[in-house]
Chains A and B, each alone.
Chain A
Amino acid sequence: MKHNLILFILIFAHMLPAMAESQKRTPASLKAMGAPNAPQVEIAWNRYYSYDEVMEIADRLQKAFPELVAVTSIGKSVQGRDLILLTVTNHQTGRAEAKPAMYIDGNIHSNEIQGTEVSLYTAWYLAESFGTVEWITDLLNRKAFYIVPSINPDARDYFIRRPNSPHSPRSGLLPRDDDGDGAIDEDGYDDLNGDGEIVQMRRLDKRGRWIADPQIPNLMIRVEADQKGKYELLGWEGIDNDNDGRINEDGPGYYDPNRNWGWNWQPDYVQRGADQYPFSIPENRAVAEFVTSHINIAGAQSYHNAGGMILRGPGAEEDEDLYKREDIEIYDFIAKRGEEMLPGYRYMVVGKDMYTVYGGELDWFYGARGILTFTNELWTSVDMFGQQDDDAGWFGRRRDTHRFDRLLLFGEGTVDWQTVEHPQYGEIEIGGFRKSWTRTAPSFLLEELCHRNMAFTLYHADQMPLLSIDTVSVTPLEGGIYQIDVVIGNQRLIPTRTQQDIGNGITPPDVVAIDGEDVDIIAGFFVKEPLYDEVAEQLYHPDSIRIETIPGNGKAQVRWLLAASGTVRITCRSQKGGVISEKYTF
């Protein structure tokens, strides 16, 4: 009896939140198009969540949508945090592994945090909209999403909880000796005034070349060559902790997690930030192992900041010939759609339009795995005043970020200059942008950033293969023999296997198979060119015809000569296109 009571309490306690949430199902408010009007899981999309909060959101989504969201871990971070994975699909229409899947991650660079919010928003929006928005319902019935909100959770928390600048750290937290002195992480930034921000240092200097802008005192500007200045700039807030004459030269980390991937990896004397060897960073290795073992992944997206870019590889000149025309055409088409959906974002090729990157994540995804992959650089100067300005730089003109801060953030984004005593420099002043301004969206623009970028990625996901058995045509021949022709169609833009995949045999070919109780296969063919009836006979295992790829918005045809009666089943198995099947009765 006592046990039953405890059980009852447990069950009841468990039901409470669900009951509370279900009571909100009939709101008086008018639904604004976009987000659900009465979400089962209330989440504010106007702030940046710590690791614990990310875990909690994932957990709430899983509890509210057990048939849609599964939370697991793909590995551990350096400090032992779980790299959580949200698998989002309608689990009742098939396992995620049997569907074409979109992989999404964020936050590979520690300070580029909003990728996590976009990823979480995507999981939330998909789950909440299933059953309400027909397009989303269809998508989750047919496709799966593997969402890893942060592939660098240690340094995400480090960025959020500890004193940092908008640019620190880029690295994860694997301890490294950066200056070759044998001591590890002994000289990072120092928060001199204890305000939780790492800002700029300046010092009065008769021969200094800098002055404060007359209109915007927080903005430092360089004087003309023939003018007299007032200040010298001393870099980021910090002291020489180890007395080696250098300031902030060995902080936590330091490497670039996005130069550590095993495609055209180069050591750090060629590629700065590469770390010691490919996948020496455990978080990256965990992703690589997950992606290698989930060959249903047919598209991928990584979210960074900033600059408003939709990026694809190659990162290095050596790989320019690697990208085949057919694959580039798909990249181009999807990205051009993205430029429409994301005002201010430009479609660029990393190595050609930006800078050389060896060992980048998107190069590994396409090069090693043959997966069409984009990186979005979230947040653009266009988001501030709606002005397209090609020379504004990734974070906008400094004058504009200061003006935006003054006009729309009322100065909250900046630490005003203040005097502190520095052990090496004496009396100095510190001031400048707070860590959550200049690269990350302010609260009122974050939800828009999440939704627009998600919409682009959902468009990409929708363009993953959608297969159908278009026709089954049977021609009786003499002697009780039939010729059966089957046409498999792909109703979307992306082929079942990219040219990179086909050319290097990365994933197994698609297979169209026939089986039945009473069927004798005489011969099986791939129909190379239906118009001219040009065929290639498959001598071995003719019941399962292998197809290299089913092209985007295209078709593939197979043929059998057989003797059969009763019912046969035709099945198309594609690693990245799912499994479809149809029966035919003779």
Chain B
Amino acid sequence: MTGPIFKIAILFITISNLQLAAQSYHDHAELGKRMKQLASKHPDLVELQSIGESAAGRELWVAKINSGDHPKPAILLVGNVDGRTVVGSKICLAFIEHLVKDDAKTTPASLLKQVSCYVIPSINPDAAESFFQTPLVESAFNACPVDEDNDGRVDEDGVDDLNGDGMITRMCVRDPAGDWIFDSSDSASLRPAKKTKGEKGEYLLYSEGLDNDKDGNINEDGTGGVNINRNFAFRYAPFSTGAGPYPMSAAESKALAAFCFQHPEIALVFSFSPNHNIFKPWPHAEKAPSSSKKRERRRQKPIEKVPEPDHTALAAMGEILGKMLPMTGIPASKSGNGALSEWAYFHYGRWSLSTPAWFVPSVTDSSNEKIERKQKPPLTEYQRISAWLKQNGQPQAVLNWQEIEHPDFPGRQVMIGGIKPFAGINPPADSLPSLFKRYIPVLSRLPDFISKLHIYNDGVKALYAGVYRVSVRVVNNGFLPTHTVLGSRMKWTRKIKLALALSSGQSVIEGRPFYLIDRIDAYGSSRELSWIIKSAKGKRVTLTASNPMVFSTSLVLELK
């Protein structure tokens, strides 16, 4: 089945799907289908690859969007870094769709003339699938079996849907030694008892489930897994929940790292993750790390804070992009043990920007002022989310506490309730288009930051008959330094290569065919270099300053 009819049919299906697409989330199969459709519809622009497979064998898709053959710096976009956050995958997909829009005059086409975009919508597809399954249960783990309670058995005591409502929520058990109480102002709101203020707790809090293996613990060894965003090697916390047996143990994190190092042209990694730095930069190192070789050999301490000038550069990008994302209720950036976004900066040596994609905004009361300011004490996270859900057309996502009979707690009051899984994590599907409107300009802005090399002619001087000195400066006219400080000190980051090309009859008397430059700072910083060349008068030499992850340049000089 080939020919125009088939193509029209595909086009029709694609268009109608795209119209629907914005209104719903996609499971792994659907996401893959859409990526394949985009690749087959735009073979000149989109190349679809799988960088590996998840623990459960799901493809880790990357769409490489690239126009033309000339080498370009690349931006890597990664979604679903926290496995529960499927909204990031949707923004990734929307960005691909935006990039392949046919109109050559729009921003995408000019953006793609400058850079390649590599988009990995989901780096933890096993966890993302929990958003689409019944019972609905929030999970950040891949499907790799882990013996969480170290009893020699794996995944033997996970959650259970006790009230048959198709979702796993919270479960409270009345107990004289409980830590939780219901708030007097909101009978549905369970919060920690303030013991210092004389309040006594009344309930123990669990996730919904049974003691399946009869070991006295509830849900202590559920399905999976490794949390990919805890498995990266930067500040990896061994033995912590979801960390996996060792850093980069998971197929997903290893595949991403391998992909990154196989693509030296990646200049910047933008990820949708809880370890964000757009709204507030990551902590700042007190002083630039010493680069003294002698000291390095003796003992170099691990580096966990961002040195200058990288901190300033990251903060400056964050300020520009943060203003384009007017959001309220921004959660604190989580401490990143084994987080992808920080790994991309500290261990991959690239510019790394991250945002959580979406979070529950600040809630407002009727007078349109922030409730948090007026109310005392401040709202708990549960109260804030439930208030927002109620105000924004999702009151059904705040579940009433419902009493059940629980076989592990005979004769005791056990209730199930809380907030519907994912309700505070991903926005309602119908609000996605407005989110895309915010993020597409942000993502489209990224190429503007990449450093731009320029070769400045400092003069060609005739020293003697047929002997010339060529002096140039390599200048970075971009927003960012060519390399991060740490990246420039990593063996696996390419240096800037300034190469001299001669034509026949010319030769170099002093100087090398090429020089390697470690890094050049932003805005006008430069490196001076010169050659003495033997050449007939009026002939030309070509100089090229290149590095895969910056905008390269060349200059032709006439020897006269």
Contacts and interface: CB of A to CB of B under 8 A. Distances in A.
B263 to A, nearest CB: 12
Contact of B147 (A179, A364, A508): A508
B492 interface: yes
Given A180-B495, A367-B238, A278 B246 contact: yes
B300 A270 contact: yes
B494 A180 contact: yes
Interface string B538-553: 0000000000100000
Interface in A501-549: 504-509, 539-541
Interface string B233-252: 10010110000011111000
B215 interface: yes
A520 B412 CA distance: 28
Residue among A243, A280, A509, A539 having the largest count of chain B Cβ atoms under 10 Å? A280
B497 A182 contact: yes
A272 B293 CA distance: 11
B56 interface: no
B514 A368 contact: no
Interface residues of A, number: 45
Contacts of B296: 272
Interface string B479-501: 00000001001111111010000
B238 to A, nearest CB: 6
A288 B246 contact: yes
A268 B215 contact: no
A343 B298 CA distance: 29
B216 interface: yes
Contacts of A178: 491
B239 A505 contact: yes
B246 A266 contact: no
Nearest to B238: A368
B347 A277 contact: yes
Contacts of A288: 246, 249
B555 to A, nearest CB: 20
A268 B302 CA distance: 10
Nearest to A503: B239
B201 to A, nearest CB: 23
B441 interface: no
B301 A539 contact: no
A317 B298 CA distance: 13
Contacts of B246: 262-263, 278-279, 288, 292, 364, 368
A178 B514 CA distance: 16
B197 interface: no
B327 interface: no
A59 interface: no
B495 A269 contact: no
Contacts of A277: 233, 247-248, 254, 257, 261, 347
B102 interface: no
A318 interface: yes
Contacts of B301: 270
The contact size tier of chain B is 35 or more
Residue among A243, A277, A279 having the largest count of chain B Cβ atoms under 10 Å? A277
A245 to B, nearest CB: 5
Contacts of A280: 248, 257-258, 261
B294 interface: no
A396 to B, nearest CB: 23
B150 A318 contact: no
Interface in B238-285: 238-239, 245-249, 254, 257-258, 261, 264
Contact of A279 (B152, B214, B248, B493): B248
Given A267-B346, A267-B347, A541-B215, A180 B491 contact: yes
A279 B244 CA distance: 14
Interface string A447-474: 0000000000000000000000000000
Contacts of B245: 292, 368
B249 A268 contact: no
Contacts of B489: 269
Nearest to A358: B302
B165 interface: no
Nearest to A269: B489
B513 interface: yes
Nearest to B148: A505
B348 to A, nearest CB: 9
A244 interface: yes
B288 interface: no
Contacts of A505: 150, 239
A541 to B, nearest CB: 7
Contacts of B257: 276-277, 280
Interface in B288-323: 289, 296-303
A329 interface: no
Contacts of A182: 264, 494, 497, 548
B300 A269 contact: yes
Contacts of A581: none
B512 A262 contact: no
Contacts of B254: 277, 279
A402 B466 CA distance: 54
Contacts of A266: 300, 302
Contacts of B264: 182
Contact of B516 (A244, A278, A508): A244
B103 interface: no
A182 B512 CA distance: 17
A345 interface: no
A539 to B, nearest CB: 6
A7 B248 CA distance: 51
A265 B233 contact: yes
Interface string A147-185: 000000000000000000000000000001111111000
A418 interface: no
Contact of B247 (A244, A270, A278): A278
A178 B491 CA distance: 6
B234 to A, nearest CB: 9
A72 interface: no
Contact of B151 (A181, A245, A263, A508): A508
A271 interface: yes
Contacts of A364: 246
A245 B346 contact: no
Residue among B150, B245, B492 having the largest count of chain A Cβ atoms under 10 Å? B492
A243 B513 contact: yes
A424 interface: no
A364 B238 CA distance: 11
A364 B297 CA distance: 22
A356 interface: yes
A523 B393 CA distance: 55
A540 B264 CA distance: 55
A205 B245 CA distance: 57
Contacts of A368: 238, 245-246
A265 B247 contact: yes
B491 A268 contact: yes
B549 to A, nearest CB: 12
A178 B303 CA distance: 22
A243 B512 CA distance: 7
Nearest to B253: A277
A358 B236 CA distance: 13
Interface of A: 176-182, 243-245, 262-263, 265-272, 276-280, 288, 292, 317-318, 355-356, 358, 364, 367-368, 504-509, 539-541, 575
Closest 4 CB pairs of A and B: A262-B246, A180-B495, A269-B489, A508-B152
Given A244-B516, A280-B258, A540-B216, 7 more contacts: A177-B492, A265-B236, A266-B300, A267-B347, A509-B150, A540-B214, A541-B214
15 contacts: A176-B491, A179-B516, A180-B491, A181-B514, A182-B548, A244-B514, A263-B238, A263-B246, A265-B233, A266-B302, A277-B257, A356-B299, A504-B239, A506-B239, A508-B147
